[in-house]
Each structure stands twice: as structure tokens, then as C-alpha cells.
Amino acid sequence: MKYALFLPPLGELADPATFVKVGVAAEQSGWDGVFIWDHVLRPPPEPLEIADPWIMMAALASATTRIRIGPMVTPITRRRPIKLAREAITLDHLSGGRLTLGLGLGVDTAGELSAFGEVVDPRVRGQRLDEGADLLCQLWSGERVDHDGEHFMAAGVTVRPVPVQRPRIPLWFAARGEARRPVRRAARYDGLFPVDIDATSLAEMIEVVRDERGSLDEFDIAVRPSGPDEYHAFAELGATWTLAAPRPGDTDVMAIASRSPTDVFPDDG
């Protein structure tokens, strides 16, 4: 099992210096990763102060040497694939190959899609996610890309340098509820980030992944357990990453980062 902090860059953590201090403390304490929310608006009572996750990850990559970093999750629907491809490549080089890119449909909480005229329909967002993820992988190949899709295009472009990580930067995909298409999407890539699930839901998701891939080999499952019982249940089911997820406004984030992850998630059951 690997362990990561999952941090909202909101409120006090919207300050880059504070965020980096927490990340450095996590690396020194033995955590394996620091992942970050990717939102542009949040509803009350969450803080109005929100930092850009990509700038924060770049700062953290420059201040650390070992931990993995990544957004959980970036919605392609409010991004442009070429910009995201360039940012991911640059961050992968800056971090020495430590980026994991989490992708998802995004949410319209607080209007962070509708307030800016972005696509809200979940079916269309799913189509954009599928097409956009495939296009990202093409752009990372270093080869000429000719793509004329329903939602995106890239007309005879070659993107270099290629990422440090090969064959590509790992892609994890969010999935929630009983929908199985998001789980099958994740199974085609490198990892699954289940949202708001219990052990029963996780077991059902894992069966879908096994059906799609044949096994869980070289596949990551990142979970956020609500307590020790759920942590052990998730581990037995095959989770590979456990995320400690402070909520916006929590005051003990540095205290968690400064502890060994095996103290936060003891293995003694």
C-alpha cells in the first residue's frame, strides 16, 4: 500500500508557501504522494480563496524529490487538450517523472461549469473525456498527430519533448455511484479513483476492472477510507493507494503531514 495526502488548495492552503510546506513535511514523514483538488469555484461554506492546482504542483515539484504529485481530478471538458498536454509534459520533466494525471467529467458544483459557459450535459462531458484522453496520449507520443474528432482537433501537429515517463504519464480516472462506464474507462488506462464508495461498491468496481483487463496487474486503485475498518476492507479488496483527505478549513493538515502514514493508517487492524 502507498499513502498520499489529498489536499484542497482552498483557504489557508491556497497560499502557495503554506501548501509547499505541507508537501515537504509529507515527503520528510514518509508519505508517497500529495494529490490536489482541481476546482475553480466551490460552494459555501467552503472558502472563496482557491489556488490554481497546476501552479501549486509545479511549486511542490520544485521543492521535493520523491513524492508523486497529481490533480484528482482534472476535467478535460473545461480544458484544451494541447494546453493540458504541454502542462503535463512540463510538470513531468520538472518533477523527474513523478506526475500522475487524474481525469474526470468534472462537476458543476457552485456553477464552475455553467457559470463559464462550459458543457454541463454529463453524456457530452463523458464523450469529451474519452476523446480528450485518447488525444492526450497521441500528443504525448512525439509523433505527428492528425485528429479531427467530434469535440477536439489537432491538425498535423507534433508535440515534443515527450514525457519522462514511458509509455506515458499514468492516467487515473474518477468513478462514482453505480455507473460502470467510468470504471471501464479507467480499466483501459492506469488507475481508478473511486469517489464516495463503500467496500461493497469498491468490490463491484474491481470486478468490472478485472473483467476488462483480466487482472489488476499494473493497475492502481486510490481510495479515501472513512476509518480503520474501511481502510482494512479496501486494502483486502486490492486498493494500492490510500489517501488522507482533510476537508477545507481543517486546521490539522500540517499535523497529519508531519506524521508517518503508518501512524495515520495503522496496519494492525
pLDDT tens-digit readout, 7-51: 999 999 999 999 999 999 999 999 999 999 999 999 999 999 999
Domain membership flag for residue 46: yes
pLDDT score of 269: 45
Domain membership flag for residue 133: yes
pTM for the full predicted model: 0.96
Domain membership flag for residue 269: no
Q: Give the CA diameter of the chain.
A: 56
Domain membership flag for residue 134: yes
Domains in the chain, number: 1
CATH of the domain at 145: 3.20.20.30
Spans in the chain with pLDDT lower than 50: 269
Domain membership flag for residue 197: yes
pLDDT tens-digit readout, 52-81: 999 999 999 999 999 999 999 999 999 999
pLDDT score of 225: 95
pLDDT score of 252: 87
* Distance separating alpha carbons of residues 69 and 225, to the nearest angstrom: 20
Range of the domain at 159: 2-264
Domain membership flag for residue 201: yes
Neighbour tally for 61: CB within 10 Å: 23
